[in-house]
Structure 1
Amino acid sequence: MSATKHWDITVDIDEFDEDTTLAHVSVRTPAGQEVTGVGQAQRNPLDPSVHEIGDELAVSRALRNLSERLLHTTEKDIAGVTGESAHLHR
């Protein structure tokens, strides 16, 4: 049986100054569990200030962090169902 599911990811980006960008990403699973990730970009003072690049880097790091946390959540869920520890390939 085939099914299409849709999960929404929320991305919030904060620029604290000309050099620092912080991104928060979150996803709520169909079971109602929220998983979040955080990423930061710090501009080298010698580089030109291009806000889009800081946004991209901070968001990519936040998504990578979210992915790792979601894998960890999945391991805990598997362990809860099977009664054995689970270690998923990264």
Structure 2
Amino acid sequence: MSHTSRQKDKLIARVRRIKGQLEGIERALEADAACVEVLRQIASVRGAVGGLTAEVMEDHLREHVLDAETDAERYQGGEEMIEVIRAYMK
């Protein structure tokens, strides 16, 4: 079982909150809200996505690297994390 499956409800709740924040940005833009208000909302979404990313990354490291049953699984988990970090840093 994947670690994301065990925490699925928690992760989906976070995604739904982010979705609500994005919809708030859309409403603000449609209502011609002040730039600073839209920027604050964007910053909030960015922070929320960053928090979600960090949580899933941490869970991956714990499950697939620190608690891996074999060296091969540990190596694969580490390589996957390197790939994700490289994509994230672009």
Q: Shorter-chain-normalised TM-score: which range?
A: 0.3 to 0.5
Structure with the bigger percentage of helix: 2
Q: TM-score, normalised by structure 2?
A: 0.42
